[in-house]
Amino acid sequence: MKSLRIGDLKISLPIVQGGMGVGISLSGLASAVANEGGVGVISSAGLGLLYRRLSPDYCKASILGLKEELRKARERTRGVIGVNVMVAMSNFADMVRTSIAERADIIFSGAGLPLDLPSYLDGRSRTKLVPIVSSVRAFRLICQKWTNGYDYLPDAVVVEGPKAGGHLGYKREEIDNGAFSLEKTLPEVVACAREWSDRYGKPIPVIAAGGIYTGEDIYRIMELGASGVQLGTRFVTTEECDAAEGFKQAYIASRKEDIGIIQSPVGMPGRAISSEFIRNVEQGLERPRTCAFHCIRTCDYKKSPYCIMLALYNAARGNFRHGYAFCGANAYLADRITTVRETISTLVGEYRERRERARNEAAERWKK
């Protein structure tokens, strides 16, 4: 595979590990992926709950927790470490400022449009800014806002298709509509990125995400113009993933029919594995009585069917009576626990096999 460049960062393996909260991708998983030459990503979602021992104040605990996770990651790797910060989070600004102050290599930001993200940089900042979008329209709007307001272009962009796990930037009726597929959207974003790159003389690599699970998937998607790929689901069933064993086993035990679309209190649809908790939510049995975190701007606990923070936290610890697991569309393909090194080796091998097959097929066509 060709290396990936994001600004002055040279990433030998064009694979980004997707940020997964709450507590699924922390310093353990991120550093393991970075050590193999990819981009490891710490999710900032829910750190105030994970690190509540450091402060009873959710926002302060989030800041301290992110500092701790970045410190741990830096102790374990000299590779590239990013932080995923959702726009929908109420402590978005705190997480962005902390990521920059702690010299995270990259901030990935989605679940909303990060229209003011460059405003947090100063002249000494080295952190790269990478928005996550689901359409060429969203990407174009971000480029317009960033260049007009801050004279700044994205350092890269992640285009996430509707087969991704977790929160999806699509209406429910768009998720299974081929007109919104990654294969349709990716070339549009690549063409748009090229236009902005030509205009400002700054490369904008496009990273494809959503439903990418095998090395053959990586080859196919990169043939459509992607400079790199983002995988989340594939890394869950690794020893280094920060989730509990029960969470990983939920992926391994899942069947294709167990994976479906739910409505999140964030206000977006999401893809998850069916659980007892989800079935109780559908029956109206999981109403939150109060809100201890105020973690999502758009969440009103009085109207929400459940607390998403606690649901994801419980699931990460293997408690599916009181939580559920987000996952990508291909989570059911997982059949065992591996290591990050073995997973990446398999991906690279599958990619090379598909590339060689394509070359042989091209040679045969040329002979004819």
Q: Which DSSP string corresponds to 11-74?
A: ESS-EEEPP-TTTTSSHHHHHHHHHTTSEEEEE-TTHHHHTTTT-SSHHHHHHHHHHHHHHHHH
Structural domain contains residue 66: yes
Residue 367 has pLDDT above 80, yes or no: no
Say which CATH number the domain at 36 has.
3.20.20.70
Segment 276-297 shows an average pLDDT of 72
pLDDT classification of 7: cutoffs 50, 70, 90 = very high
Does any domain span residue 304? no
> The domain containing residue 223 runs over which residues?
4-243
In a domain, 289, yes or no: no
Number of folded domains that form the chain: 1
The pLDDT of residue 82 is above 90: yes
Q: Mean pLDDT, the chain, as a whole number?
A: 93
80, part of any domain: yes
Q: How far apart are CA 246 and CA 23, in angstroms?
A: 13
DSSP code, position 336? S
pLDDT, mean of residues 210-222: 97
Tell me, what's the pLDDT at 299? 60
Residue 338 lies in a domain: no
Position 286 scores a pLDDT of: 65
30-50 burial, b at 16+ Cβ within 10 Å, e below that, comes to bbbbbbbbbbbbbbbbbbbbb
State how far the Cα of 165 lies from the Cα of 329, in Å rounded to an integer: 7
What is the structure's pLDDT at 223?
A: 96
Average the pLDDT over 125-147 and give the result: 97
Calpha distance 132→139 (Å, rounded)? 8
Domain-located, residue 160: yes
Given this model, what pLDDT does residue 291 score? 60
- Above pLDDT 70, what percent of the chain? 94
Q: What per-residue confidence (pLDDT) applies to 215?
A: 97
User: What is the percentage of the chain residues whose pLDDT exceeds 90?
Assistant: 80
For 145-154, 179-188, 270-279, 359-368, which range has the lowest pLDDT when averaged over its residues?
359-368
Render pLDDT for 50-64 as a digit per residue (tens, 0 to 9). 999 999 999 999 999
Average pLDDT for 39-54: 95
- The whole-number pLDDT of residue 267 equals 78
Tokens of 153: 């272009």
Q: Considering the domain boundaries, does residue 345 fall inside one?
A: no
pTM equals 0.94
User: How many residues are there in the chain?
Assistant: 368
Residue 158 placed within a domain: yes
